[in-house]
Structure 1
Amino acid sequence: MAPTTTVAEQLTVEQLRDDVEQLARRCLCDPVTELFGPLLEAQERVFAKLETDPRPEHSEQLHLLAALVSAALARANHDLGRGHQAMTLARMAFECADNIGHHPLRAWIRGLQSQLAYWADRPQEAAAFADCGVALAGEHTGSVASWLACAQARALARLGAAEPARLALVRAEDLRERHERDELDAIGGLFVFPPPRQHYYAADVYGCLDGMGERSVHEATRALALYAASPPELRSFADEAGARCVLALAQVRAGQPGAARDTLRPVLALDLPRRVTEVMGGVNRVAAALRDPRVAADPDARDLREQVEWFGQRPASALAS
């Protein structure tokens, strides 16, 4: 009987891993409203197994799954505008990864915390989290390393540190060239940092720096071209929308609100469950630029401003209230 029990318990752990990895992949493309319940259920199952399974050979695997699912759930809360809950879950994920000394995942979670702080308009905190992640990653060359360098660059650009931000992007490009696929890349979905997203981050960085509008347009256009060439299951709707928002912002600043309207059309067509925190944040930045006196009177600018203001009244977070 004992061997049968052991096999059954091993199958349970394997099933949990399959479920968690599947959810991580779905996080790119599926609306958060379809993911939230399954993520909560998966987290409950993993922690229940941790409490009831004393076998040492399962402990490391279960702590890894607990970190992964808690991180994914943190991202889902972030998408719904629940910043405090998201950061709490990210800390929980970090503790689980720390318990097994999983340095790449610990570094990845610091990147997640940097992302949460960045979209909460706390760039100093975002930079600090990214710095911690870089230190944890060390010489690791999975895609998380490029993500952390890009996270540093975005936070530094928001703080007005132009040259350090540029150097961080150069470091991200170097890390991309030396990239070696790791366990997180193999999981994919939420836990991989692909080239299109790296170009989107670069566009965002240059969009924050004076005199770099053309470079921002170039990077955003490159990101969108790469997303368009990607298979549907690898196209993050939030990051693709983010790249469109950065491009539209550059177009508005260049006095081209008509072009910005065309760029934003797919974003403004997103259904309510996909109007997540980062999408709304990007659209709101365009809305602020449209109020600039240099373009505010333009008919195209007025038309687009009306569209984005209407869009901004109905975020995904309204579904969680």
Structure 2
Amino acid sequence: MRLAFMGTPDFAVPALRALHQAGHDIVTVYSQPPRPAGRGKKLRPSPVQVAAEELGIPVRTPLSLRRNAEEHAYFRDLKLDAAVVAAYGLILPMEMLDAPARGCLNIHASLLPRWRGAAPIQAAILAGDSESGVTIMQMDAGLDTGGMLLRDHVALTAHTTATTLHDDLAAMGGRLIVDVLGRPPFPGTPQPETGITYVQRLNREDGRIDWTRPATDIDRQVRALTPWPGTFTVLDGEVIKIGAASLENSNLPSSITQMVRIAEHGRVNMRVVPGMVVDNQLLVACGNGTALRITRLQRPGRGMMEAADFLRGQAIAPGTRFGTETPNV
């Protein structure tokens, strides 16, 4: 089929490669423009642009598609059978949605209608969903509201991270879009009117840990928001990034106001509060008498480290409390 592909991040690359390997004629790729990156702030092309150039496919990087009559005309004149969209990041106007013979097909990383919007992978983990998946959708004017053409799912476990789920769904998206395009055109199934949820774009503040929440919530936050936007807490006015954590099998006393012995300090009647470190291996008190052990963390200007290596360079004694200050990040 004669296709255009529209995508920007790593998530979209497996689909682009799968379509190319399947023998489709990808006449052009759209991606967001190169952005400043790294310490030198040099312009860096998107992962999709890099992959497209490796495959010898022309790339277009318009800043916007709205009120862009020249781009609309170019797209229309491509005489496409279909356009495939995967995490492109720009809104397609109706002039472009209607141009290909089979319209524009979106690879969405959720089981629609759950988690419409910008961060469905992270949202599924944050919410404690039991499964996630990919929906191939016929695009319309709404936000992820079009008819469903094909879906597949994957189970989420207590160890699923945004990275592992991202990679699983990216590969799944490539497989499903090739499957859909290999079939005769067929109408999409309307999305159910129940079970609709939305997720907004993430920002750095979403990664701030609130230690008064239960450990299960914070564990999901760490797994969902690593590597982006990352989770963090504060120690002595310094932002400490949390790269990984693990739930403890046993809870702290049912009330965090109960007194416990912290032998390392020789104190018997220390009041345990959320955010307090309660042993020598970074077990931290959380809400509802629960606890979470930090296993990877990072100081500003340093690399991410295993907790044991971090503690050899900077001891964090029992009784220390995280998150008592709130600097901007």
TM-score by length of structure 2 reads 0.27
Question: Which structure features the higher share of helix residues?
Answer: 1
Structure number with larger C-alpha Rg: 2
By relative contact order (CA 8 Å, sep 6+), the higher-ranking structure is 1
Question: Which structure features the higher share of strand residues?
Answer: 2
